[in-house]
Amino acid sequence: MWGETFRRLFYKPLAYTNRRLDYQFAYQQGPGEDWQDISLIIYWGNKPIAIWPLSFSIKDGRRMLTSQGLPVWPPVFVENCPSTSRKRIVKDCQNVANAISVDSQLNSWESGESFDESLGMSDWHIESMARDASCQLRHEMYLDLRQTMMNIKGIFEKVLICSSYQAHECRLSMCLTQ
């Protein structure tokens, strides 16, 4: 059912695929560690509307709520999911994460999110900030490697000329010329 719901998503992040989740889960399971995959297919009106990768572990005596060893990711939704439903589900998911955290005596849990082909802050981020979460920003760049090196360099030059991130220019130039 996870795969069927994944195919109906508006945006299909690699990190949410069955193979990626299975890999991360297998990678995290080590000797003396207890990992439980508690990922959810979320239903709304008796229809699968979102998937949410989630795991609970005890590693070196430390309890953690994660998405297969990584910060807890938000649920991703099927195409045409109403905004009001998304907001309610996000709130409920954060309530579930908080309840697991309290029941498991965790001091806190860390969440993260990545690019999702939308502008502005996500419902997940807005709800987190409403709950007094602390925030750290990290910028990622995505690149179509099917293009020629000349085209890739041209794209970076345009982006870097228009930005004030001159410190990144050296690192990017070095990576592209090697």
- pLDDT, one tens digit per residue, over 135-176 is 766 666 667 778 888 887 777 666 555 544 444 443 444 344
Instruction: Give the pLDDT of residue 171.
Output: 43
* CA 61 distance to own-chain centroid: 25
The Cα 121–Cα 74 span in angstroms is 13
Instruction: Give the pLDDT of residue 139.
Output: 61
> What DSSP state is assigned to residue 78?
B
The Cα 1–Cα 51 span in angstroms is 10
Spell out, as residue ranges, where the chain has pLDDT lower than 50: 163-178
Using DSSP bridges, classify how beta strands 62-66 and 47-52 pair: parallel, antiparallel or unpaired.
Answer: unpaired
Q: 56 CB contacts (<8 Å, ≥6 apart)?
A: 35, 36, 38, 63, 64, 65, 66, 100, 104
The Cα 74–Cα 84 span in angstroms is 16
Instruction: Give the pLDDT of residue 104.
Output: 92
